[in-house]
């Protein structure tokens, strides 16, 4: 009878993926926080009446962060799933128990994501990833070429003209983001959250499938064996992401006037689809940096990697800050803070999670939500807390 393999221990983890997850959370903080900033006119999630400094910060975030951080998250999520499958297969597990394990993990993500959305941040992505994992289990036995073909087809379809891109949206901040009372919060979010959970996975299919493909080969764990691929991905992916973002980010930054709706329907999807390649590029670049630092890991490197090892806890900690700072019945600073000062808040929040994660690393503590999800995934294994 084969035994179930436990989660990857902290001492067994590769530096590159953890560094990527750690840096990714800085990008996610910057990408999420500006959507809370209110103003008389909004474009792409940014108030259009800010100072020159606000417009400059908006330009940088729209160019390098928005639509680029979550694809990197998707790649790393798919990569992690591939790692789980590989460890279970090496332990002699058959496909049926592996599917059950992953579906337990997806269930935990859906439940945790629902609670996160209702109590803290309605833009939660955990439930969407839970749904993606539940459906994506069927892709685990696909041949490599089908992973790549489906990923490419979905990317092309997402590039087609559409007026639904968040990068060109002009809607004001929704009441579900900034509820006036706790009762309003639950009433609004119970309607919105299922749509986000069920439709959100569509945008993450390509990164997830590419992550599965890369995870089968250990690309991020053994970067020295894949230097050409990683270097090409970093250069091409980031270049395409920057160039593809410029039509939108120049409008966001106030450099050019807002074009017609027809033009917006073209440059919005371009911004989003090029960001998927940018997510690949960022992941590759950070892994290459991690390879250089692997033999001389200083305190900063270890602290950022510690965030990556506790990415779920640190992600949820960010939402606590957004809730306290922006919710109308709490501090209600959505009209007080500007894009620039909100970006500073995002950086400060990320730095606080770095200190928190480093403290947990020093005492050998995995992180509360990491322990919880592993207990449910691996059936309350005694080794989970130490892993």
Confidence of residue 384 (pLDDT cuts 50, 70, 90): very low
Q: Answer whether residue 98 shows pLDDT above 50.
A: yes
Q: Which of 44-58, 80-94, 106-120, 368-382 has the lowest mean pLDDT?
A: 368-382
Distances in whole angstroms, Cα of residue 124 to Cα of each of 74, 75, 151, 153, 260: 14, 17, 23, 26, 31
User: For the residues 35-39, what does the mean pLDDT come to?
Assistant: 92
pLDDT digits (tens, 9 = 90+) for 217-246: 999 989 999 999 999 999 999 999 999 999
**Residue 195: how many other CB atoms lie within 10 Å:** 9
CB 212 within 8 A of CB 203: no
Nearest to 22 by CA among 368, 342, 288, 302: 302
- Joined together, the tokens standing for residue 190 give 């119970």
Terminal-residue alpha carbon distance, the chain = 23
Q: Higher-confidence residue: 379 or 289? A: 289
Question: What is d(CA 24, CA 27) in angstroms, rounded to the nearest whole number?
Answer: 5
Would you state the pLDDT for residue 91? 83
Answer yes or no: is pLDDT of 295 > 80: no
pLDDT at 1 over 70: no
What pLDDT score does 243 carry? 97
Residue 383: is its pLDDT beyond 70?
no
CB 59, CB 252: distance < 8 Å: yes
Summary mean pLDDT of the chain: 91
User: What is the SS3 assignment for the chain?
Assistant: CCCCCCCCCHHHCCHHHHHHHHHHHHHHHHHHHHHHCCCCCEECCEECCCCHHHHHHHHHHHHHCCCCHHHHHHHHHHHHHHHHHHHHHHCCCCHHHHHHHHHHHHHHHHHHHHHHHHHCCCCCCHHHHHHHHHHHHHHHHCCHHHHHHHHHHHHHHHCCCCCCCHHHCCCCCCCCCCCCCHHHHHHHHHHHHHHHHHHHHHHHHHHHHHHHHHHHHCCCCCHHHHHHHHHHHHHHHHHHHHHHHHHHHHHHCCCCCCCCHHHHHHHHHHHHHHHHHHHHHHHHHHHHHHHHHCCCCCHHHHHHHHHHHCHHHHHHHHHHHHHHHHCCCCCCCCCCCCHHHHHHHHHHHHHHHHHHHHHHHHCCCCCHHHHHHHHHHCCCCCCCCCC
Mean local confidence (pLDDT), 330-339: 95
pLDDT at 294: 77
The pLDDT value recorded for residue 293 is 85
> Strands 42-43, 46-47: parallel, antiparallel or unpaired by DSSP?
antiparallel
pLDDT of residue 381: 45
Task: Please say if the pLDDT value at position 75 is more than 90.
Answer: yes
Q: At what angle do helices 368-377 and 311-326 cross, to 10 degrees?
A: 130
Which two tokens mark 317? 């900690």
Of 333 and 386, the structure prediction assigns the larger pLDDT to: 333
Q: What is the per-residue pLDDT across 83-93, written as a single tens digit (0 to 9) for each?
A: 999 988 888 88
**Tens of pLDDT, residues 174-217:** 899 999 999 999 999 999 999 999 998 998 999 999 999 999 99
CA distance 142 to 78: 14
Task: State pTM to two decimals.
Answer: 0.90
């Amino acid at each position: 009878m084969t035994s179930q393999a436990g989660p990857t221990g902290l001492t067994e983890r590769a530096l590159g993926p953890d560094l990527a997850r750690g840096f990714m959370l800085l990008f996610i903080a910057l990408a999420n926080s500006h959507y809370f900033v209110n103003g008389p006119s909004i474009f792409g999630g940014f108030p259009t009446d800010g100072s020159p400094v606000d417009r400059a910060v908006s330009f940088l975030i729209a160019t390098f962060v928005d639509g680029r951080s979550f694809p990197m998250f998707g790649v790393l999520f798919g990569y992690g799933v591939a790692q789980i499958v590989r460890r279970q297969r090496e332990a002699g597990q058959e496909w049926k128990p592996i599917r059950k394990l992953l579906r337990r993990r997806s269930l935990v993500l859906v439940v945790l994501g629902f609670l996160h959305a209702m109590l803290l941040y309605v833009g939660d992505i955990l439930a969407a990833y839970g749904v993606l994992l539940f459906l994506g289990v069927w892709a685990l036995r696909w041949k490599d070429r089908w992973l790549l073909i489906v990923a490419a087809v979905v990317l092309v379809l997402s590039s087609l003209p559409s007026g639904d891109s968040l990068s060109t949206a002009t809607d004001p901040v929704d009441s579900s983001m900034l509820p006036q009372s706790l009762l309003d919060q639950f009433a609004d979010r119970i309607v919105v959250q299922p749509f986000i959970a069920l439709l959100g996975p569509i945008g993450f299919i390509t990164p997830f499938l590419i992550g599965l493909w890369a995870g089968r080969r250990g690309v991020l764990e053994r970067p020295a064996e894949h230097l050409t691929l990683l270097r090409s991905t970093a250069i091409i992916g980031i270049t395409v992401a920057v160039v593809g973002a410029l039509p939108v980010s120049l409008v966001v930054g106030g450099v050019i006037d807002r074009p017609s709706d027809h033009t917006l329907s073209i440059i919005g999807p371009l911004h989003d689809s090029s960001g998927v390649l940018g997510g690949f590029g960022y992941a590759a670049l950070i892994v290459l940096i991690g390879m250089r630092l692997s033999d001389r890991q200083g305190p900063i490197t270890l602290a950022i990697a510690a965030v990556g090892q506790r990415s779920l806890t640190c992600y949820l900690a960010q939402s606590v800050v957004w809730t306290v700072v922006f919710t109308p019945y709490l501090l209600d600073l959505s009209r007080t803070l500007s894009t620039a000062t909100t970006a500073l808040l995002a950086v400060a929040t990320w730095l606080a999670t770095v200190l928190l994660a480093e403290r947990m690393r020093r005492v050998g503590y995995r992180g509360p939500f990491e322990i919880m999800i592993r207990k449910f995934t691996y059936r309350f294994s005694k080794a989970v807390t130490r892993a």
